[in-house]
Amino acid sequence: MGISRVLSVNRGEIAARVVHAAQALGIEAVQAVSAADRESRAAQLADRTVVIGPAPSRQSYLDAKLLVHTAVQTGCDALHPGYGFLSERAELARLCAEHGITFIGPAPETIAALGDKLEAKALARAAGVPLVPGTDRIDSAEEAAGHARELGFPVLCKAAAGGGGRGMFIARSAADLLAGFDKASNEACEAFGDGTMYMERYVENARHVEVQVFGDGEGKVLHFGERDCSIQRRYQKVVEESPCAAMPDGLRAELHRAATALVASVKYRNAGTVEFLYDVERQAVYFIEVNARIQVEHPVSEQVTGVDLVKLQFRVAAGEGLALEQSQIAVRGHAIECRLNAEDPTRNFQPSPGRITRWDAPHGAGVRFDTHCYDGYLVPPFYDSMLGKLVVTGPNREAAVDRLEHALAHLHVAGPVTNLALLRYIAAHPDFRANRLNTRWLEQTLLPAFAEDSKE
């Protein structure tokens, strides 16, 4: 292994996951934490823990120069960014390169190109990947209204540098565009430093399907199947599964070809996810974006392929290349992941930090729980509210749903309010079991019913 010591610069369950993977490969793991994360599981597991700053992420996890300085000072020859925070910022990858530190992710120029959604669309178009009918850059609400008349309402306005639903809104009329355009652009500018907007035709009955890819940086790309991430709230994923049981095999093969063609065209290195919109009515897939990092939902791909993707990240970053061939990667069975969050679904998902007074996680065959929490852990109020990810695997989707219901029934958390009741409600819903889902199902069907039943 060409890496001897790695600095993990993220937090939560992904930090613990990185530490585990590094140590399993014989790599010393140094964990960077804010003052609020001293008690975290990753801090306890790491060979060494370094407090890099106070709780606010801008003074700790979001300070690229501070992170690279910490790597240099602790003698690390590699840095793993996890997901979120600076994982998709070319600046961090570039600083690592300048200081001789291996960045466990794509090259900085690749991150920059794919991080701009308009540039990523241009790359997809050049690679022959299908796109949702839409526009390039739009500079005003009036210009947007003109394009919308050509595309036909409804349309989806999106921030070119956006993510997580910020700077994004659906417009069903010119009045909606005039009311929402400047607000979305300003939101994107505040969140990403770039208020550039563009527009796509809105697909009413759609699924969100993404392909897990891996590149060696020389043009070889492998895929590890696809994930259906259609259960979303405000464009944030809640439940993910692999494979997409609603997709016919012919279209599935087309999806895989499109994803690998795009990332191969930019000589992509390390882990990535190519996201698509699956138009159920037209039986077509359209490119959305590339996430140039490991994803929250990568465990479902690991469960159905049997490949540890985080370990593979280390191997590729160390220059070992991709020893696997596509013919050696087979998707077997079905896996489902749901995110346990410290938030109250009955109070508009208000965050609920605090001390965990009971933590009973399910276990057994086909059950995996990735977390940084434990009985007595203090959930800080400064960051994302995710406590862990419950992942179940079965020989088919029906068996996986059965196992999910059983595992959720045996998951118990006290202290902070969580979304556990909502996850149980989803798993028991007949639409979920029958796979009658789309990207609007949770908000339009499930949440109103859950709210009514919660009043009783």
SS3 391: strand
d(CA 196, CA 1): 42
Please name the residues in contact with 350: beta carbons below 8 A apart, sequence gap of 6 or more.
Answer: 343, 344
Q: How many domains does the chain have?
A: 3
Question: pTM for this structure?
Answer: 0.92
Query: Which tens digits make up the pLDDT trace of 267-295?
Result: 999 999 999 999 999 899 999 999 999 99
What average pLDDT values come out for the chain (456 residues) when binned by 10 residues?
94 97 98 96 97 96 98 98 95 98 97 90 93 90 92 92 83 93 91 89 92 97 98 94 97 97 96 96 93 97 98 97 95 98 96 97 96 96 96 98 98 98 98 96 96 86
HSE (side-chain half, CA atoms, 13 Å) at 166: 14
For residue 272, the cross-strand partners are 213
365 CB neighbour count, 10 Å cutoff: 8
Do both 158 and 265 map to the same domain?
no
293 flagged as catalytic: yes
Of the three residues 174, 201, 228, the one that is the final residue of a domain is 201
Confirm whether 126 is domain-assigned: no
**Residue tagged 């910490």 (tokens):** 70
**315 inside domain:** yes
Residues 82 and 193 in one domain: no
175 shares its domain with 235: no
Structure tokens that stand for 53 in this block: 């700053």
Residue with tokens 């003109």: 146
Same domain, 197 and 228: no
pLDDT at 133 (0 to 100): 87
Residue after which a domain boundary falls, among 104, 123, 142: 104
Structure tokens that stand for 341 in this block: 């969050």
To 10 degrees, what angle do helices 447-455 and 420-428 make?
110
Answer yes or no: do 100 and 165 share one domain: no
The predicted pLDDT at position 240 comes to 98
Same structural domain for residues 24 and 141?
Answer: no
Domain match, 63 and 168 both: no
Dist. CA 73–CA 60, nearest whole Å = 16
| Residues 273 and 412 reside in one and the same domain | yes
Instruction: Please give the pLDDT value at position 1.
Output: 67
CATH of residue 380's domain is: 3.30.470.20
Q: Is residue 379 part of a domain?
A: yes
Number of other residues whose CB lies within 10 A of the CB of residue 175: 10
Domain boundary among 61, 83, 104: 104
In a shared domain, residues 230 and 166: no
> Is 116:266 a contact under the CB 8 Å cutoff?
no
Do 32 and 152 lie in a common domain?
no
Summarised one tens digit per residue, pLDDT across range 72-104 is 999 999 999 999 999 999 999 999 999 999 999
* pLDDT for the residue numbered 330: 97
* CATH code of the domain containing 152: 3.30.1490.20
Please report whether residue 127 resides in a domain. Answer: no
Q: Of 184, 175, 182, 125, nearest to 148 (Cα)?
A: 175
Which candidate, 174, 168, 170, 183, places its Cα nearest to that of 146? 174
The CATH number that applies at residue 42 is 3.40.50.20
How far from 289 is each of 69, 120, 138, 326, 456, CA to CA, in Å?
31, 7, 18, 23, 42
- The per-residue pLDDT for range 90-146, each reduced to its tens digit, is 999 999 999 999 999 999 999 999 988 889 999 999 999 999 889 989 999 999 999
Verify cis geometry, omega within 30 degrees of 0, for the bond prior to 243: yes
Tokens standing for 299?
């465990």
- Sign of torsion, CA 170 172 177 179? negative
**Angle of helix 90-98 versus helix 108-115 axis, rounded to 10:** 170
Q: How far apart are the first and last CA of the chain?
A: 58
**164 lies in some domain:** yes
Domain holding 152, by residue range, is: 133-201
Is residue 312 situated within a structural domain? yes
- Asked if residue 48 belongs to a domain, the reply is yes
99 with 237, same domain: the answer is: no
Find residue 227's DSSP bridge partners.
Answer: 210
Q: Considering the candidates 94, 269, 293, 397, report the single residue annotated as catalytic.
A: 293
In a domain, 319, yes or no: yes
**448 Rama sector, left if φ>0, alpha if ψ -120 to 50, beta otherwise:** alpha
3-class DSSP state for residue 221? strand
Asked if 309 and 224 sit in the same domain, the reply is: yes
Positive or negative torsion for Cα 266, 306, 301, 3: negative
